[in-house]
Amino acid sequence: MIKTIIIEDEKIALDNLLLNINLTREPISVIATLETVEESVHWLNHNPPPDLIFMDIQLKDGLSFTIFEKVKVTTPIIFITAFDNYMVKAFEHTGIEYLLKPVNEQELSKAIAKYRNLQQHFLNNYEQLIEYFSGKDGQKKSRIVVKKGIEFQSIPLDDVAYFFTEQKISFLITRDGRKYLVDKNLKELEEELDARRFYRANRKYIININYVKSYKPYDKIKIQVELTVPVSEEIIVSQESAVDFRKWIANL
């Protein structure tokens, strides 16, 4: 039995979700329905974590993302919302699927199947699944959600040659030169990325070690880095960071 809670403040949406959960014929037990951020935080602080959460984003007292600021949530979440502009932020947390209202039985069945596949992946050690979502396993993320036009895509970080900022907007460039919008600043990215692979070269660039073609002294005490993919300007590492860069590139 999958023990789940629903965080949803609209009765029509809640009734529709409950109906479609029953239509899936999945062994799901809804142990609580919550309407606000405050109510959800209180419940999560005073009850064992459920197996799965269905969560709306816009609640009566604010965005449900506020919940994550007040309580540690390690449970996989299926986000169900009327808005498509929160997808990137949803997957920053423990979101495994992002569905738009009104949800139907087919979409819901696929989302639950995705949850089951994750369980299967961590077969015989469900705690690993919790650690995977909570970040306790020490592993850095392997993919990043980006925006291309009106679509969202998941890009393997192995394919990212570098990140850069332009007029306070962040982008990434893939190994084949494709450009994508990233909904985070470089400081946030620097904290999330694997420091063994990605290096903050300067205020404008974060580079992937696998795409560093060469480097050389610049202005005697700085370093100029050349990548294997085209860059519109020189990437210069400052004098203060030169020693750290050399250690990073040597994998020390």
Lowest mean pLDDT among 135-149, 174-188, 218-232: 135-149
> Which of these, 144, 147, 170, 148, lies nearest to 159 by C-alpha position?
144
Quick one: how far is CA 19 from the chain centroid? 29
How many Cβ atoms from other residues are within 10 Å of residue 145's Cβ?
Answer: 21
Distances (CA, A) of 146 to 151, 153, 189: 8, 5, 12
Residues 24, 135: Cα–Cα separation, whole Å: 31
Average pLDDT on 67-81 reads 89
Contacts by 104-107 with C-beta closer than 8 Å and gap 24+?
104/20, 105/20, 105/23, 105/24
pLDDT tens for each residue of 85-128: 777 777 777 788 889 888 999 999 999 998 888 766 554 454 45
The answer to whether the beta carbons of residues 241 and 233 sit under 8 Å apart is no
22 backbone dihedrals φ, ψ, rounded to 5°: -65, -35
Could you tell me the domains of the chain?
2-134 (3.40.50.2300), 143-249 (2.40.50.1020)
What is the H or E stretch that residue 19 is in? helix 11-24
Residues 23, 191: Cα–Cα separation, whole Å: 42
Distances (CA, A) of 77 to 9, 100, 181, 195, 237: 16, 14, 25, 28, 41
The answer to whether the beta carbons of residues 197 and 157 sit under 8 Å apart is yes
Q: What pLDDT does 137 receive? A: 47
Could you tell me where the DSSP H helices lie in 81-239?
87-92, 105-121, 126-134, 186-192
pLDDT tens for each residue of 164-181: 999 888 999 999 999 998
Residue 149 reports pLDDT greater than 80 = no
Q: What percent of the chain has pLDDT over 90?
A: 56
The DSSP output letter for 49 is -
pTM exceeding 0.75: no
